[in-house]
């Protein structure tokens, strides 16, 4: 009979004033590796957080049956004395701090050279973690090799791409040599090559004796997974082996419809729109930090009404390129860049640029303050501020609420951004980008963490907006099926160069 390493029995799980689970029962035996699947908001992330000891257990019991070789305390009950070094969790958001450890990173820090110096390098960060573990299987050398981090050793954390950050967070978790490793949508933000390599990475992790629980889409379950649990509305509704799992039996209906009349009203077609000769024009753009060339002689011309896909592997330079357009990167002034028919450095402010752009990215989601209500977050899009720092405008709030209805998230209007599912947080930031009807939409991996229905609905909304208006768009993704049908041009980067 297999030995349980973790079990939770008939538990009630609470967070703040919410009950997340009732009568929750779940067990993982030694040698088992589980995938948690289900639609957005079904409870996958909440279950991982529960196992990590983050939430209150107000009924039932939770027990961690760890080998005494790892710790003197081999049985921990009710989650009170759990030694966190035996459970490691990799979450969608990182919690990196400045070198002085006095504050978190802020959104534009990565582009300001003096401020970005106040950040650990990859090598510093991992060495700090490795120094806390002795004589364990996962050493600094092994995790650097497994996750291809050697070439990033001297790069500051703030300058890592979304995919590079994902690999670093997994490396940090492995260095703790946990008994139980919890991964929350680890493939999000990874390019095609890294996703293909992920099966091999998982196999090496599980072969080292670590048990794995991973929240993931049903169609991206890694090969090393042995069991699957399906969640729905805060309950585990089905458990099976991976071999016997039939995802089509649990696929929600992804049929979708758009209220074109309501969307057309939101787009305000009667409002006069400025037509620009060049939304963007770049000539031989060169961006370099110390001896590291990030963009190398990039030429790009975008005219009004064009819809572009910006593609390339992790670390190709996509986010840096977008930062030049969005007004966040001061190196724009040292290059020949025209935005909305004006050359950068000829008197226009960052705010003049931002008011013409609706923007969302993984980095914006990472650093966006979460203490506003979702409705306030969306209304802040009118002012291009990270949160609403002025009294709400009744008319603007009404339009923001209509965008929430269009994106099917109106139920979160009065809820703080930090207290809703990550996928709904992303949809709030997408509504924030859309609310002012900008001339240019920049969507950097907008569908991260969304379930199939949310992805299809958002894609249909974007295609409908493109049919009803002359909006210009730049769309970044690592998933070919996410690209809207309205995209008709492609720019591909690799190692800072335009390759297609």
**Co-location of 131 and 217 in the same domain:** yes
Cβ atoms 479, 456 nearer than 8 A: no
Three-class SS of residue 252? coil
Nearest to 451 by CA among 259, 254, 163: 254
Q: For residues 158 and 38, state if they share a domain.
A: yes
The whole-number pLDDT of residue 135 equals: 66
Among candidate residues 250, 269, 289, the one where a domain is terminated: 250
Q: Are strands 280-289 and 497-498 parallel, antiparallel or unpaired?
A: unpaired
Low-confidence stretches of the chain (pLDDT beneath 70): 1-2, 67-85, 94-118, 132-135, 251-256
Residue that terminates a domain, selected from 250, 274, 294: 250
Q: Which residues contact 71 (CB under 8 A, 6 or more apart)?
A: 83, 86
C-alpha–C-alpha distance, residues 349 and 427, integer Å: 28
Q: What is the C-alpha to C-alpha distance for residues 464 and 280, in angstroms, rounded to an integer? A: 23
CATH number, domain with residue 294: 3.40.50.300
pLDDT at 74: 42
The verdict on 8 and 155 lying in the same domain is: yes
Q: Do residues 452 and 308 share a domain?
A: yes
**Does residue 390 form part of some domain?**
yes
Q: Do 229 and 87 fall within a single domain?
A: yes
Question: Within 95-191, where are the H helices?
Answer: 113-116, 122-130, 140-146, 162-175
In a domain, 222, yes or no: yes
| CA distances, 150 to each of 96, 145, 146, 158, 175 (Å) | 20, 7, 10, 17, 15
The whole-angstrom separation of Cα 220 and Cα 452 is 12
pLDDT for res 241: 96
SS3 311: strand
282 and 236 within one domain:
no
β strands within 66-218, DSSP E: 75-77, 87-90, 180-184, 211-215
Picking from 286, 354, 289, 283, the residue whose alpha carbon sits closest to that of residue 111 is: 289
What phi and psi, each to the nearest 5 degrees, are found at residue 327? 85, 10
Indicate if 229 and 107 belong to the same structural domain: yes
pLDDT tens-place string over residues 177-219:
999 999 999 888 788 888 888 999 999 999 999 999 999 999 8
How many Cα neighbours within 13 Å face the side chain of 319? 21
**Residues 149, 114: contact at Cβ < 8 Å?**
no
**pLDDT at residue number 67:** 56
In a domain, 494, yes or no: yes
Residue 255 domain flag: no
Range of the domain at 50: 4-250
CA distance linking residue 74 with residue 63, whole number of Å: 10
Domain shared by 275 and 238, yes or no: no
Do 293 and 235 lie in one domain? The reply is no
- The reply to whether 246 and 389 lie within a common domain is no
pLDDT given at position 76: 45
The predicted structure's pLDDT at residue 407: 92
Same domain, 314 and 386: yes
Q: Using CA atoms, how far apart are residues 222 and 220, in angstroms rounded to an integer?
A: 6
Burial string for 340-371 (b: 16+ CB within 10 Å, else e) reads beeebeeeeeeeebbebbbbbbbbbbbbbeee
Which pLDDT score, from 0 to 100, does residue 16 have? 78
Claim to verify: residue 372 and residue 417 sit in the same structural domain = yes
223 in Cβ contact with 39 (< 8 Å): no
- Domain final residue pick, 198, 230, 250: 250
Tens of pLDDT, residues 67-86: 544 444 444 444 444 445 68
Pull the structure tokens for residue 238.
Answer: 């089905």
Number of domains comprising the chain: 2
């Amino acid at each position: 009979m297999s030995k349980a390493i973790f079990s939770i029995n008939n538990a009630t799980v609470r967070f703040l004033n919410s009950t997340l689970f009732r009568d929750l029962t779940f067990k993982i035996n030694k040698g088992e590796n589980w995938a948690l699947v289900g639609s957005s908001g079904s409870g996958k992330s909440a279950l991982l957080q529960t196992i990590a000891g983050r939430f209150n257990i107000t009924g039932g019991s939770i027990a961690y049956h760890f080998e005494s070789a790892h710790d003197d305390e081999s049985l921990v009950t009710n989650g009170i004395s759990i030694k966190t070094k035996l459970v490691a969790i990799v979450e969608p958001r990182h919690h990196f701090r400045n070198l002085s450890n006095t504050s978190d990173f802020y959104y534009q820090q990565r582009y300001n050279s003096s401020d970005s110096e106040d950040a650990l390098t990859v090598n510093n960060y991992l060495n700090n973690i490795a120094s806390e573990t002795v004589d364990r299987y996962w050493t600094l050398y092994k995790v650097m090799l497994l996750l291809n981090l050697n070439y990033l050793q001297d790069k500051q954390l703030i300058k890592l791409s979304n995919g590079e950050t994902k690999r670093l967070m997994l490396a940090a978790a492995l260095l703790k040599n946990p008994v139980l490793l919890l991964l929350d949508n680890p493939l999000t933000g990874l390019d095609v090559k890294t996703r293909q390599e992920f099966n091999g990475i998982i196999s090496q992790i599980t072969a080292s004796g670590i048990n794995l629980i991973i929240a993931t889409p049903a169609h991206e379950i890694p090969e090393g997974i042995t069991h699957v649990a399906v969640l729905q509305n805060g309950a585990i509704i089905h458990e099976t082996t991976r071999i016997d799992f039939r995802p089509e039996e649990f696929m929600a209906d992804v049929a979708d419809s758009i209220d074109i009349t309501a969307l057309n009203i939101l787009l305000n077609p009667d409002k006069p729109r400025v037509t620009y000769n060049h939304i963007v024009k770049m000539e031989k753009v060169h961006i370099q930090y110390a001896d590291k060339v990030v963009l190398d002689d990039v030429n790009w011309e975008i005219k009004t009404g064009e819809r572009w896909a910006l593609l390339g592997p992790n670390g190709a330079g996509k986010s840096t390129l977008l930062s030049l357009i969005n007004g966040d990167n001061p190196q724009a002034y040292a290059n020949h860049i025209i935005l909305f028919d004006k050359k950068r450095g000829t008197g226009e402010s960052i705010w003049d640029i931002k008011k013409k752009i609706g923007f969302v990215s993984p980095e914006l989601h990472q650093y966006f303050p979460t203490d506003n209500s979702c409705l306030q977050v969306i209304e802040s899009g009118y002012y291009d501020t990270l949160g609403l720092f002025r009294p709400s405008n009744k008319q603007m709030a009404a339009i923001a609420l209509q965008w929430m209805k269009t994106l099917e998230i109106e139920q979160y209007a009065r809820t703080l951004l930090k207290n809703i599912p990550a996928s709904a947080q992303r949809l709030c930031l997408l509504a924030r980008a859309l609310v002012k009807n900008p001339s240019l939409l920049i969507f950097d991996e907008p569908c991260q963490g969304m379930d199939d229905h949310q992805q299809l609905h958002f894609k249909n909304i974007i295609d409908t907006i493109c049919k009803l208006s002359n909006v210009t768009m730049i769309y970044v993704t690592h998933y070919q099926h996410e690209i809207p049908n309205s995209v008709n041009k492609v720019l591909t980067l690799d190692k800072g160069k335009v390759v297609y």
